[in-house]
Structures are given as structure tokens and as C-alpha cells.
Chain A
């Protein structure tokens, strides 16, 4: 549905995106992930035909965004980052205007506008001035204008930014409900959002794509093992050998011992849960098992590794933590 082929956009001497390629199949929800200034908005602006690329090509619904821009525009719904709306217009007339500009026939328009207001939960404010609405309502009006013409492809730039937790949940479930009939590409820098809403993810950093694919396979690709942390009060060399003897265990690292017990980080083949065996082993040896936990490998770790791996890792961890808290 969306095919991006070696796309590059220069702002003067600065390249906002370099040689970006990816594709999105019909009915998918794809998360476009990256730190601020990575080139997410630039890519979306090109896809939405707002500006042409410097080189490379992009096709939406089979049409080129530059050469067949009108055909593309007929088939997309776009929500720019800061949700620009006409603050002097009322909600229902505004949506009617958008529907008319997008070519929805007079007969269909009233029904479509009413329908979209119901879906986006804005029917109760339909006669209010958009400028007087709260941020959450404005965001939903923005989403409503994107879907009012029932487009094949939705391009949503940070659709949940600046909303409160309840509104975020509502918008997410609305976006999820669009899957299947619409192809959705949404950008965000909130990691849990991607795992919750999207089928696949594209991670972009400094204008270049660093990882892409379905979330599970991406995690597998970057972390082919599962990791367990265990704390056992016993003689470290013996404990290490015993754990290593368990089938499936690949490596064992010990960490700083505390109060006579030592912590071990155990890596095992992915899909193999060795926790029960560790417990049995410790019980047999009459060693005290103080802690046993699985360390989950999530998209966050993938993101940190690919985006911030080469630079300061702590800063990225802090940013992700802050985003996680914000969502």
C-alpha cells in the first residue's frame, strides 16, 4: 500500500532523511519510531504530498506522490503533528468542508460527517468553535477530518501527543479499530504505544532507517536469547557450573556477591524457560534461592540499542523512561 524507495530530502545543505526505504502492506498499522528530529515528520510530509522529495520515489496506493499527487491525495487522510485546524470554524461545518474538498458527494456528506463524529466521540461538541475546544477534542477533530472521506491510507503524525492518559487510551483504541479497512502509518516517540497499537515498526534515527519489521521478530533479531537473573546463596564456582549444566543455558555471568549470596545472569536459548530447572537444582543442592526472575526483552531495549547504542546510552534510557512515564 505504501512503498518508499530510497527517499532523500534535503533542507539546503542538511539532509533531513537519507535513502529511506520501506513498505507497508494493506490493512497494517505501522509505527514510525524515532527520537525527535529523526525525520519522521519529513517522511510523512512527503507521503502526504505536502512536499516533494529531493530524490527517490514514494508510492501510496500504487500512485507516485510526485507525479500522480492528485490520485494519492484522494486516497489518504493526513493528520499533521500539531493538528492545524481552523479555529474560527465550528466542528460540524468544518468536517463538512473537509468532506466536500475531499470529494465526498452531497448526498453522502451529511451521513458521513455524522458517522465520523460518532466514531471520534465529538458529536457532543459539533456546534462549538474549534478554537474553544480542549486539546483532546481538537486531536479527535483532527482525526475525524483525516478519516471523513474513508481513505485507504491514514498518515498520522504523533496522534496522541499532549493528551491525558484517558484520551490516549481512547485515541489508541480508535486507531486500532481502523486496522483492516485502512492502512495506517503513525509516528510516535512513545515506545509502549507502538507495542500496543502497531503490527510492525520502523525505527528511524538521524534521517536513516535503522531497523524495521514486525515487533516480535525485531526483538528476536536483536536479542536472540532470553535472559534470567538469579540470586543463590551458595559457593559461586559450584553454582555457576551447576547452572551451566542445565540444557539450553548458553552463558552464565556472575555479578557482585552480596551477603554471601551471588547474582547470576543466565542467557538461554530463546523460547526455552530454564527457571523451573534452576529452582529444582538449587533445592537439590540445598542452596537458598533468593531471587529468580525473567528479564523481558521488549521494543524498548531494541530501540535503545539501535538508536542510542553508539552514543550516550544513559541519556536514551532517561528519555525512554520519561516517555514511558508520560504515556
Chain B
């Protein structure tokens, strides 16, 4: 399996083109704004609770800063990740380079793995940069690192799923915009499924709740590692990657 050269090439393309830099900048800008407003709100609440000790007992920096921050970051990712993954196969198809790539002595699976891992590492670097926020928090307050770590694990798993969906959408078309919109649409649908869970109620409600892609991230940021959530992301990712392989093969037959 020659994953490494493909991985290197994709990484190089992310960083020699402006894509990686623009995504990092926008992500940190919006993430920073969210962090600032959440932290400022928390500061105000702590100031008020100084006068009202009863209220102070409820205040917890992990729960009131990190948890909402993780959930806000998820929403940015929902918007940004389709733009990171849209290029991977669509551009190769548009430029025709896929014809060379798929005649080199590498299996389709290795091509997919190289591209997927490149996007995943880019993503890991991106959320790695946000460690700055808990680092600032820890300067002012006592932070429980456990839930922060599981929170990041949750983000990583969820991002892995976003990327897998994006790679699949990218393998379906030669138009990057179409790939991005498809990815965004699929992710959004799986997000808003959770909203209707409340109205549906009963078994249907529970099923909808379980399908919701952001819902599963919440327990991670609470510091809970639930196999149900881990399996959800792992299976979702595996399914999307499997479909991508099938789509690559189907394209071969169609020529």
C-alpha cells in the first residue's frame, strides 16, 4: 500500500495553495470570537455570583465555557469542512489527473486512504490550534482536563465523519461546488434530524435523536465516553469511505 506519497502530495497541495491558510484563518477568527463572547459572559456571571454565593455553586468553567465552545466549534466545522474536502476527487476528475493517478501502481483504497488521512491531519492541526482557548482559561481558572480531552476526542471523531462524507461527495462529481453543497446538505440533514426528535417522541423520536450527528458529540464534551457515540461516528465514517470506494470503481467501469 503506497499511502504515504499520496498523503504527502495532498498535504503539499493544501499548503502550497491558499486553501489551508484561508481555512485556518477563518476558523480561528470565528472560533476566537465565540470563545471571547462565551468567556466574557462567564466572567460577568462569576462577578455577579461573587455577590450571590448561592449562584456561585452552579458555576463551573469546564461546563460553562468549554462545553458551549465545543458545540459552537461543531457548527463552524459543519460550514468549513465541506470546503476542505470538496477538492479531493472532484478536482482530479475535472483536471483529468485521475486518469494518471488511477493508472499508477496503487490500489484505489490506498489513493482514498492517502487523501482521507491528509484531510484528517489538516483537520487535526486545525482543532489542535484551538488548544489556545483552554490554555487561556487555565491561566485564570481551574480547568478539569478530563472533559476537555474527551471533548477534543469527540471533535476528532465527528470531524472524521464530516471528512468521510465530504470525500464521498467529492468522488461523485467533477464539480467542486456540487461536492461542497452535497456534503453540507447531508451533514445539515443529519444535524437537524435531532431537532424534530422532540416533536416525534416515542421510538421514532429516539431513532431520530440517535441519527443526529451533533447530538452524539455532546456527551464527549461532558466528559462521558459512550461506546454508542464512538460506534456511531466510526460506523458512519466506515460507511462513507466504503461508498467512496464503490463510487471510484463504478466510475472506472463507466469510463
Task: Say which size band chain B's interface belongs to.
Answer: 20 to 34
Q: Do A101 and B5 have beta carbons less than 8 Å apart?
A: yes
Query: Please, which residues of chain A bring their CB within 8 A of the CB of B2?
Result: 100-101, 103
Query: Please, which residues of chain A bring their CB within 8 A of the CB of B95?
Result: 84, 86-87
Q: Do B16 and A50 have beta carbons less than 8 Å apart?
A: no
Q: How far is the CB of B33 from chain A (nearest CB, A)?
A: 31
Determine the distance from Cα of A100 to Cα of B104 in the docked complex, in whole angstroms: 10
Question: At the interface with chain B, which of A21-29, A68-76, A192-200, A303-311?
Answer: A68-76
Q: Say yes or no for A88: interface residue by CB 8 A criterion.
A: yes
Q: Do A48 and B103 have beta carbons less than 8 Å apart?
A: yes
Determine the distance from Cα of A86 to Cα of B13 in the docked complex, in whole angstroms: 9
Determine the distance from Cα of A98 to Cα of B97 in the docked complex, in whole angstroms: 12
Q: Do A100 and B100 have beta carbons less than 8 Å apart?
A: no
Q: Say yes or no for B99: interface residue by CB 8 A criterion.
A: yes
CB contacts under 8 Å to B, within A107-161, are: 145
Residue of A nearest to B95 (CB): A84
Residue of B nearest to A87 (CB): B95
From B4, B13, B103, B253, A88 is in contact (CB under 8 Å) with B13
Query: Please, which residues of chain B bring their CB within 8 A of the CB of A82?
Result: 96
Q: Say yes or no for A93: interface residue by CB 8 A criterion.
A: yes
0/1 interface trace, chain B 96-133, chain A, CB 8 Å (1 if under): 11111011111100000000000000000000000000
Q: Do A89 and B12 have beta carbons less than 8 Å apart?
A: yes
Q: Say yes or no for B9: interface residue by CB 8 A criterion.
A: yes
Query: Please, which residues of chain A bring their CB within 8 A of the CB of B253?
Result: 51-52
Q: Do A80 and B100 have beta carbons less than 8 Å apart?
A: yes
Residue of B nearest to A10 (CB): B255
Q: How far is the CB of B89 from chain A (nearest CB, A)?
A: 14
Query: Please, which residues of chain B bring their CB within 8 A of the CB of A85?
Result: 97
CB contacts under 8 Å to B, within A33-70, are: 42, 45, 48-52, 70
Determine the distance from Cα of A160 to Cα of B252 in the docked complex, in whole angstroms: 27
Determine the distance from Cα of A9 to Cα of B95 in the docked complex, in whole angstroms: 24
Q: Do B105 and A80 have beta carbons less than 8 Å apart?
A: no
Determine the distance from Cα of A50 to Cα of B103 in the docked complex, in whole angstroms: 6
From B5, B9, B104, B255, A51 is in contact (CB under 8 Å) with B255
Query: Please, which residues of chain B bring their CB within 8 A of the CB of A88?
Result: 13, 16-17
Q: B-side binding surface: helix, strand, loop or mixed?
A: helix
Query: Please, which residues of chain A bring their CB within 8 A of the CB of B104?
Result: 73, 98, 101-102
Number of interface residues of A (CB under 8 A): 30
Q: Say yes or no for B86: interface residue by CB 8 A criterion.
A: no
Q: Say yes or no for A32: interface residue by CB 8 A criterion.
A: no
Query: Please, which residues of chain A bring their CB within 8 A of the CB of B206?
Result: none
Q: Say yes or no for B246: interface residue by CB 8 A criterion.
A: no
Query: Please, which residues of chain A bring their CB within 8 A of the CB of B106?
Result: 101
Q: Do A78 and B100 have beta carbons less than 8 Å apart?
A: yes
Q: How far is the CB of A106 from chain B (nearest CB, A)?
A: 11
CB contacts under 8 Å to A, within B4-59, are: 4-6, 8-9, 12-13, 16-17
Determine the distance from Cα of A9 to Cα of B253 in the docked complex, in whole angstroms: 10
Q: Do B99 and A84 have beta carbons less than 8 Å apart?
A: yes
Q: How far is the CB of A232 from chain B (nearest CB, A)?
A: 59
Query: Please, which residues of chain B bring their CB within 8 A of the CB of A9?
Result: 255
Q: Say yes or no for A279: interface residue by CB 8 A criterion.
A: no
Q: Do B5 and A97 have beta carbons less than 8 Å apart?
A: yes
Q: How far is the CB of A60 from chain B (nearest CB, A)?
A: 11
**A97-B9, A101-B6 are known contacts. Are A73 and B100 too (CB-CB below 8 A)?**
no
Determine the distance from Cα of A43 to Cα of B16 in the docked complex, in whole angstroms: 36
Q: How far is the CB of A2 from chain B (nearest CB, A)?
A: 15
Q: Do A93 and B103 have beta carbons less than 8 Å apart?
A: no
Determine the distance from Cα of A145 to Cα of B95 in the docked complex, in whole angstroms: 16
Residue of A nearest to B107 (CB): A70
What would 7 more interface pairs be, CB under 8 Å, given A50-B103, A84-B99? A51-B255, A82-B96, A89-B12, A97-B5, A97-B8, A100-B8, A145-B100
Q: Lowest 8 CB-CB distances: which A-B pairs, in order?
A: A84-B96, A100-B5, A73-B105, A84-B97, A51-B255, A74-B105, A48-B103, A101-B104
Q: Please list 14 pairs of residues, one from A and one from B, whose beta carbons are closer than 8 Å in the complex, sorted by A's number.
A: A11-B255, A42-B255, A49-B102, A50-B255, A52-B253, A73-B103, A73-B105, A84-B98, A88-B16, A89-B9, A89-B12, A89-B13, A98-B104, A103-B105
